[in-house]
Amino acid sequence: GAGVSQSPSNKVTEKGKDVELRCDPISGHTALYWYRQSLGQGLEFLIYFQGNSAPDKSGLPSDRFSAERTGGSVSTLTIQRTQQEDSAVYLCASRSSRATNYGYTFGSGTRLTVV
Amino acid sequence: AQSVAQPEDQVNVAEGNPLTVKCTYSVSGNPYLFWYVQYPNRGLQFLLKYITGDNLVKGSYGFEAEFNKSQTSFHLKKPSALVSDSALYFCAVFKAAGNKLTFGGGTRVLVKP
């Protein structure tokens, strides 16, 4: 597509439930990133996918968080047994593999509220 | 480890006045530097980048940034601010080893009419 698409745009869930957040990157972008933005805070790196390589999971805050990327395209971030501190905006970004292009294109994010 | 610092949580400026948003970086080797803007309830939008070449980089919406290697800074500037420039601004550095952007904490800009 023309841009990075994330769904849902908003998600309210009860504490303890599992949630899945979806990211559809720009077609042809081999790199895909997930970041978390807590209220009024900066961006916290979560996970990075590059082609068929093993993902860089170094930013995942706990084992309740996981992500997968199927077929090198769509990615799903899953949060199990959600906690109130998981409430944040989850941003996905993709990047071209061209050597001179290091910047990301971001989606509009999913605002997750855990009640 | 690479890092980016935005020393100001918020910048207030009157419409029509110059706007500066500060950013300093700490990275070994050549830095690849970026500015992004986030409008309310929106994702981050790319403003400009410095990879190599001229130290003064021009970007979207009339913004520019100056790369200063000796001061390890990459301040964002706009000669005449608009109310519509009110947003959250992020500076970021990309390091090839690790293949990801590291962001500063963000600076909220409020332009008053």
**Mean pLDDT over all residues of chain A?**
91
Residue A100: pLDDT band with limits 50, 70, 90: low
User: Tell me, what's the pLDDT at B30?
Assistant: 82
Compare all CA atoms of chain B with the CA of A38 and give the residue at the minimum distance: B105
Compare all CA atoms of chain B with the CA of A109 and give the residue at the minimum distance: B43
Contacts with B94 from chain A: Cβ below 8 Å: 102-103
User: CB-based burial of residue A39 (10 Å sphere; 0-12 exposed, 13-18 middle, 19+ buried)?
Assistant: exposed
Minimal Cβ distance to B43: which of A33, A103, A106? A106
d(CA B54, CA A41): 32
Other C-beta atoms within 10 Å of B16: how many? 12
User: Tell me, what's the pLDDT at A10?
Assistant: 96
Residue A40: pLDDT band with limits 50, 70, 90: low
Residues 6+ away with beta carbon under 8 Å from B74: B23, B24, B25, B31, B33, B35, B50, B65, B66, B67, B68, B91
* SS3 state of residue A87: coil
The nearest CA of chain B is from the CA of A73 a distance in Å of 18
Beta strands in chain A, from DSSP E residues, in sequence order: 5-7, 10-13, 19-24, 31-37, 43-50, 65-69, 75-79, 88-95, 105-106, 110-114
Do the Cβ atoms of A104 and B101 come within 8 Å?
yes
User: Tell me, what's the pLDDT at A103?
Assistant: 76
The nearest CA of chain A is from the CA of B110 a distance in Å of 15
Mean pLDDT of B76-98: 91
